[in-house]
Amino acid sequence: MRIRSSTMRRNSMSATRTAPVSPAVPDRGRTIVVNTGAEPPPSPRSKPAAIVKAYITLTKPRIVELLLITTIPTMFLAARLHAGGLPDLVTVLVVVIGGAMAAGAANAINCYFDRDIDQLMRRTSRRPIPQHTIAPERALTFGLVLAVVSIALIWSFTNLLAAALTLAAIAYYDLVYTLWLKRTTAANTVWGGVCGSAPVLIGWAAVTGTLSWEAWILFAVVFWWQPPHFFALAIKYKDDYAAAGIPMLPVVASLRRVGLESVIYAWLTLGFSLALWPLATTPLYGVVALVTGGMFCLEAHRMHGRARRGENVKPMRLFHWSTSYLTLLFVAVAVDSFLL
C-alpha cells in the first residue's frame, strides 16, 4: 500500500509538471492572456482609434496650442501697424493650419530622436514610441511629411520668408536643440527658446513679408519667457531628467541658482513687453503688460525665496502662472490692435 501510494503521488506530480497551460482561457466573454514577454497586440476594436490618438500625441497638441496663442495676435498687430487694417482671413487660416502642422512635425521628429531617453523617463515613457504603439520609422516619416506639407502650404499662400522661417524653426528644434543642446549643456532651455519664439516671426512675416523691430520685440518677449516656464517644469521632473542623463539646469545646479535665473529672465520678459507699449500699442496693452508681468516676476521671486530658505519651492505655481501670463499678454496684443 505504501509503494502504491508513493507511486500514485509521483505520477500525479509528473502529470502536473507536464500538463500544458492554455495561453488564453475564455471566461464569460473575457480572455485572460498569459504574458509571454512579447508586447500584447491592441484590441481589434480599439486599434484604429488608439493609433489615431497616438499620432496626435506625437504632435504634442498642448505645445502647439501655446505656440498659436502667440502667433495669431502677432498677425493682427502686424496688419494694423503696416496695412492699417485686419489680416487677410485666408492668410490667418493658412498660418494657423500650417503653423500647427509645422509644430506638430517638429514634435513628432523630436519623439523619434528622443526615443532612447523617453523610455527612461516616467513622464515620457507613455508616449507612443516607448509604448510600441507606433514604430520609430513611421513616426519619423509622419513628422517629415507634416513638415513638407506645412512648409509648402505656407509658401504657396503667404511668402518665401514665412516658409523659410518655418523650415528654420523645425530644423533648429530637431537638429540643434534635440540632438545637441538638450543633451550637452545646461543652457539648453535658454537657447532652445529660439524655436519656441519663431512662430511670432512667422506670423509677422506672413502678413508683412518683412521682419520689423516690433516683431523682434515680441520674439524677445517669448524668448525670455521660456526659461522660467520650463525651469519650473524641469524642477518637478528633475529626477526623470537625471535618470536620462539630460543636463537640465535643475539637475546640474542648485535650486537657488535656478530660482535666481528665473527671476532674471522674468524681469527681462517684463522689460521687453513694456518696450512695445509706447511704440506700437495703446495704454490697454501697457496696463495688462505691467500688471501681469509684475505678477510673473513676483512669482519668480517667491520661488527663489523658497529655494533660499530651503523650503519646498512649489515650481508648478510659477509654471501655471507663466502660461496664464503669456496668454493674457497676447490677448491684450490682439484686442489692442483694434484700438490703434
Q: Do 202 and 228 belong together in one domain?
A: no
Query: CA–CA separation, 47 vs 42, rounded Å?
Result: 5
Query: CA–CA separation, 99 vs 71, rounded Å?
Result: 9
pLDDT of the residue at 313:
97
Alpha helices in the chain (DSSP H): 2-18, 47-58, 61-83, 89-113, 115-118, 136-157, 160-171, 182-184, 188-191, 193-208, 213-236, 238-244, 249-252, 255-275, 277-280, 283-308, 315-337
Query: CA–CA separation, 173 vs 264, rounded Å?
Result: 24
Q: Can you read off the three cell numbers belonging to residue 222? A: 517669448
Domain count, the chain: 2
Query: CA–CA separation, 37 vs 135, rounded Å?
Result: 18
Q: Do 249 and 262 belong together in one domain?
A: yes
Q: Do 192 and 64 belong together in one domain?
A: yes
Query: CA–CA separation, 202 vs 191, rounded Å?
Result: 18
Q: At a CB cut-off of 8 Å and minimum separation 6, what does 25 contact?
A: 31, 32
pLDDT of the residue at 63:
85
DSSP state of 25: E
Q: At a CB cut-off of 8 Å and minimum separation 6, what does 121 contact?
A: 237, 240, 241, 243, 244
Residue 280, domain extent = 212-340
Q: Do 147 and 60 belong together in one domain?
A: yes
* pLDDT values of the chain reduced to their tens digit, one per residue, 340 residues: 344 444 444 444 444 444 444 344 344 444 343 343 344 444 444 488 889 999 999 999 988 888 889 999 999 999 999 888 999 999 999 999 999 999 999 999 999 999 999 999 999 999 999 999 999 999 999 999 999 999 999 999 999 999 999 999 999 999 999 999 999 999 999 999 999 999 999 999 999 999 999 999 999 999 999 999 999 999 999 999 999 999 999 999 999 999 999 999 999 999 999 999 988 889 999 999 999 999 999 999 999 999 999 999 999 999 999 999 999 999 999 999 998 7
Closest to 189 in 3D by CA, of 243, 252, 131: 252
Q: Do 112 and 189 belong together in one domain?
A: yes
**Within a domain: residue 6?**
no
- Give Cα separations from 22 to 30, 31, 85, 132, 338 (angstroms): 14, 11, 72, 26, 71
pLDDT of the residue at 329:
97
**Within a domain: residue 1?**
no
**Within a domain: residue 166?**
yes
Q: Do 304 and 243 belong together in one domain?
A: yes
* CB-facing half-sphere around the CA of 255: CA atoms within 13 A: 22
Q: Do 333 and 228 belong together in one domain?
A: yes
Q: Do 227 and 196 belong together in one domain?
A: no
Whole-prediction pTM: 0.84
Residue that terminates a domain, selected from 165, 190, 210: 210
Query: CA–CA separation, 249 vs 180, rounded Å?
Result: 15
Q: Do 190 and 239 belong together in one domain?
A: no
Q: Do 238 and 286 belong together in one domain?
A: yes
Q: Do 198 and 282 belong together in one domain?
A: no
pLDDT of the residue at 6:
44
